[in-house]
Amino acid sequence: PLKAFIFDLDGVITESAEYHYLAWKALAEELDISFTREFNEELKGISRMDSLDKILTRGGRMNDFTQEEKDSLATKKNEHYRTFIKKITPDDVLPGIEPLLAEIRSRGLKIGLASVSKNAADVMNSLRLTEEFDVIVDAATISKSKPDPEIFLTAARLLNVAPSECIGVEDAAAGVTSIKGAGMFAVGVGSAETLAEADLIYANTSLLSYEEILAEFEKRT
Ligand code: G6P
Ligand code: MG
């Protein structure tokens, strides 16, 4: 039986994925590395340092910086990102998310968050959603970034449910891979092309339907 939903944060609960995109794009362009939305898809769900490495590799500049310089590039991106998230309010919860959380809660199911972002706690507080979640697993709790299944497995363990009893919700290809690697049912939010591995895909959060997700979950498990 279904016992829990585990959500990604950036790009699922709120539009902060766009802020990561803008902040990385500014940094990449400063380094004369081209940055496209298509390439940005490869960064979604990936930790800060792994994202920087991917950008430097793309620009053929992997060996141009010392570790210390890389740390300061990552800090610069994060400071830029934080100027965006400072403005987040409860009005920035994406459409469809609050009704879905309420529905999940009314069925007596558990709710978890699985985000590799070190800013996840701040974003959740700004959205005033922290109390709505039974567990929040972020960068502080895990050692491996998505696409590794560790983060979704950790959330399930802390919720005291089996992975097969969980539904994971993600906007990133790496995130869907993490959910499937954990042995969970995956709901993707975004393009069917990028999220092909998901069990069920919605173009955006306003289309999420508890009844439909439940029906698909019961069909496939
Ligand atoms: C999430 C986002 C990524 C971001 C990562 C690290 O996974 O999808 O775009 O790079 O978190 O975020 P942080 O806030 O720690 O830099
Ligand atoms: Mg995301």
Q: In what order do the strands lie in the sheet with 166-170?
A: 135-137, 110-114, 4-7, 166-170, 185-189, 200-202
Q: Which ligand is nearest to the CA of 139?
A: 1
The predicted model scores a pTM of: 0.97
Does 115 count as an annotated binding residue? yes
Does ipTM surpass 0.90 in this model?
yes
pLDDT of 220 reads: 86
- Which range (17-26, 36-45, 58-67, 137-146) has the least confidence? 137-146
Mapped to the 3 state alphabet, what secondary structure does 8-31 carry? CCECCCECHHHHHHHHHHHHHHHC
Distance CA(50)–CA(102), nearest Å, equals 35
Which residues lie with the beta carbon below 6 Å from any ligand 1 atom? 10, 17, 20, 43-48, 51, 78, 115-119, 139, 172
Is 8 annotated among the ligand-binding residues? yes
| E strand intervals along 25-88 | none
Kindly list the catalytic residues: 8, 10
Ligand with an atom nearest the CA of residue 20: 1
**What's the Cα-to-Cα distance from 65 to each of 52, 60, 116, rounded to whole Å?**
11, 11, 24
